[in-house]
Amino acid sequence: MKTKKLIIGNWKMFPVNAKDAKAKFVAIKKVASTLRNVQTVICPPFVYVSDLKKLVTGHRCVVGAQNSWYENEGAFTGEVSPAMLSSLGVESVIVGHSERRANGETDDVVSKKVAAAIKAGLTVVLCVGERERDQDGDYMKLISNQLKSALQGVQKKDFNKLVIAYEPVWAIGKHAVRAASTDDALEISILIRKTFADMCGKDGSCVPILYGGSVDAKNAWEFLLKSQVDGLLVGRASLDPKVFAEILKAADTTK
Ligand code: PEP
């Protein structure tokens, strides 16, 4: 049974130096390490992963990665492999974030990355989400296809190495059109569970589902309570330790 809420901070390409990254992590860890009902994962830019890993004490606040390539080594300039992350002791990686998809990452590449990360022993936080919502509900088909495509190289026995983050692109980042409603997120968490149920013949509840997109200290609690999600993927608000601490504390109270 999943009891802890999973709260992942995606730091994107912030902050600009290691000193700030370490200070933010220490401030977040101070609060996160006191919370019994929350698992916190901070995903910094690659260059800070080693530094932050050294600051980890215990299991409540750990370090993940924002991306990984689909081969473990080779002529792939600028890429970081899942085996490299694994060798640093990183346990989870975000794959298929919409900001990477917007820069040309295709469903095919996402699916190869998912399979490679799982093979390297990492837990994959797979991001899915529509760019916009249409009246006919085609976005539901799109999300379910994104999921099926991304998981085509994953065996059912490895589904326990997956976390699915529903991130509607229109609700992410500073260009967000609006925050998603708790009903928007609920609708898709049900869809994701159904898609898993279709794929593995079980009820699909074994895979944790996160919501992400303009989460802040005010709406975090509502998403956790009303959208049937197991946690949150937080971008901008995870870079402000005070705001992120409020989100973590809210999550701690929603058992
Ligand atoms: C994200 O980058 O995954 C994200 C959800 O961003 P934000 O919280 O800033 O909308």
Instruction: Tell me: pLDDT of 205 over 80.
Output: no
- Which residue among 97, 99, 130, 187 is the active-site one? 97
Average pLDDT over residues 88-100: 97
Cβ(72)–Cβ(119) below 8 Å: no
pLDDT given for residue 146 in this prediction: 96
Q: In what order do the strands lie in the sheet with 38-43?
A: 61-63, 38-43, 5-10, 231-234, 209-212, 162-166, 123-128, 92-95
Note if 167 is an active site residue.
Answer: yes
CATH number at residue 122: 3.20.20.70
Residue 160 Cα to ligand 1 midpoint, Å, equals 24
Residue 213 Cα to ligand 1 midpoint, Å, equals 5
**DSSP-assigned letters across all residues of 29-85:** HHHHTT-TTEEEEEE--HHHHHHHHTT--SSSEEE-BS---SSSSSS-TT---HHHH
Average pLDDT over residues 64-73: 98
Sign of CA dihedral 231, 67, 34, 244: negative
Integer-rounded Cα radius of gyration of the chain: 17
Regarding the beta carbon of 129 and ligand 1, being less than 6 Å apart is answered no
- Ligand 1: atom nearest CA of 99 is 2
Q: Which of 8, 233, 217 is nearest to 128 (CA)?
A: 233
Regarding the beta carbon of 233 and ligand 1, being less than 6 Å apart is answered yes
Instruction: Tell me: pLDDT of 1 over 70.
Output: no
Ligand 1: which residue has its CA nearest to atom 4?
Answer: 235
What is the distance between the alpha carbons of residues 89 and 155, in angstroms, rounded to a whole number?
A: 24
Confidence of residue 118 (pLDDT cuts 50, 70, 90): very high
Tokens of 3: 């009891």
What's the distance, Cα to Cα, between the start and end of the chain in Å? 12
Regarding the beta carbon of 64 and ligand 1, being less than 6 Å apart is answered no
Residue 156 Cα to ligand 1 midpoint, Å, equals 29
Helix (H, G, I), strand (E, B) or coil at 238: helix
Query: 150 φ, ψ to 5°?
Result: -65, -25
What is the distance between the alpha carbons of residues 207 and 204, in angstroms, rounded to a whole number?
A: 6
Number of domains in the chain: 1
Instruction: Tell me: pLDDT of 157 over 80.
Output: yes
Residue 24 Cα to ligand 1 midpoint, Å, equals 17
Instruction: Give per-residue pLDDT as tens, 10-33.
Output: 999 999 999 999 999 999 999 999
- For the full predicted model, state whether its pTM sits above 0.95: yes
Strand locations in 96-137 (E): 123-128
- Which residue among 73, 79, 130, 167 is the active-site one? 167
Which of the listed residues 234, 239, 243 should we mutate to test ligand 1's pocket, taking the one with most ligand atoms within 8 A of CB?
234
The domain of 94 spans 5-253
Regarding the beta carbon of 232 and ligand 1, being less than 6 Å apart is answered no
Regarding the beta carbon of 204 and ligand 1, being less than 6 Å apart is answered no
Cβ(163)–Cβ(96) below 8 Å: no
Classify residue 12 by burial, with Cβ atoms within 10 Å: 0-12, 13-18, 19+: middle
